[in-house]
Structure 1
Amino acid sequence: MFTLTVHDGLYLKLLEPKDARAVYMLIQQSKNHLRKWLFWVDGTKKLEDSEAFIEESMKQQAANNGFQAGIWYQGEFAGIIGLHYINWINRTTSIGYWLGEPFQGKGIMTDACRALIDQLFNEYELNRIEIRAAVKNVKSQAIPERLGFTKEGCLRQCEWLHDHFADHFVYGLLREEYAAAQRKS
């Protein structure tokens, strides 16, 4: 079972069926905040929807094609960080994340991403990590920018969000860039 301690009071843990209620409750509590950027929020209408998501996440992890981990902050479920996929041939992945509204602005997601990136480059030996963020989602963009990712471009109208298409910025970080930054610090 994957568990990654980020620092005292913050850790990542693979989602398991027993986490479904915490996931569901946080989504409901933060629905208005989350739905602005995440199309799937409206489809999370009952506990069984979160249970099904966790079941699919467990299949993804068992297939060695990424994973979804709960973010636990001071004993509370705070959000999710995960890999959309792992392309083992090209040694690339894409990170996705969300935080419940009460946990915003505390540096949680930046710290979680930093720890996961370190794991992906050093343990998984990946070469490239990508993060995408909606052009208007400034808070989400700040995370890869803080972590030294390069803004590589804009994917125009790449995601349908309820009633409109949204553009996304694409950020990339290469293993050699990460290693060079680690040597400097």
Structure 2
Amino acid sequence: MYVISLGDDGAELRPLEPWRAEEFLAHIDRGREFIGQYITLPDAVTDLESSRSYLRSYADKAAVDTGRIHGIWVDGELVGGVLFRTMDLAHGTAEAGCWLEPSAVGKGLVTRAARVIIDWAVEERGIHRVEWQVAAGNQASIAVARRLGLTKEGVLRESYLYRGKRHDVEIWSVLAPEWRAARQSS
């Protein structure tokens, strides 16, 4: 296992593996309503077995290079995560995503963690295009996309049915040459 420091505030990025299912469930329970405002993760992780199954699905994706999931820990407590919901190495595309529990909001954790995984995808795995799909009402996630230097490509109107309501989805992305250029200039 590896641990990547996200700064000098005790924040770390680690793989989120099936053996952490109990810790993952406790984390989701702490932030269930907040996390579930825009994403289905809390609906998918409701008990220990569904937590284990969710993490196992990402372990399976990692084994065949079609996705990854990482947790964000602060002072030893799981407070959020970043992931590649999809990765298609043949086409050079990936879709990134994130979540946080309320106690971790406003500290730049997702931005720092997303930089790490996007760097890895571009530099180590040869991904050419990273997408960030976000409900138009999710201003915190849109702010992360902006801080990462992603470009808003458009809006899929009412394309996402969630908890009985249709949401617009914004599509943000960055291409490998843009990512590298921005990283070199910072």
Q: What's the TM-score, normalizing by structure 2?
A: 0.92
State the one-letter code of the partner of 1:10.
A
- Fraction of identical pairs, as percent: 30
State the one-letter code of the partner of 1:70.
G
Classify the secondary structure of the residue corresponding to 1:81. strand
State whether structure 2 residue 128 is matched by structure 1 residue 135: no
Classify the secondary structure of the residue corresponding to 2:177. helix
Classify the secondary structure of the residue corresponding to 1:45. coil
- Structure 1: runs of 5+ lacking an equivalent: none
Map 1:130-169; keep pairs closer than 5 Å: 130-169=131-170
State whether structure 2 residue 27 is matched by structure 1 residue 14: no
Residue 170 (structure 1) aligns with: 171
Map 1:20-169; keep pairs closer than 5 Å: 20-169=21-170
CA distance in 2, matches of 1:98, 1:139: 10
8 Å Cα contact 1:12-1:70 kept in structure 2: yes
8 Å Cα contact 1:23-1:79 kept in structure 2: no
State the one-letter code of the partner of 1:180.
A
8 Å Cα contact 2:35-2:41 kept in structure 1: no
**Aligned residues between the structures:** 185
CA distance in 2, matches of 1:103, 1:44: 20
- RMSD over equivalenced CA pairs, Å: 1.5
State the one-letter code of the partner of 1:5.
S
Classify the secondary structure of the residue corresponding to 1:30. helix
CA distance in 1, matches of 2:141, 2:172: 11
CA distance in 1, matches of 2:21, 2:92: 31
Classify the secondary structure of the residue corresponding to 1:122. helix
| 1:115/1:43 CA distance change after superposition, 3 Å | closer
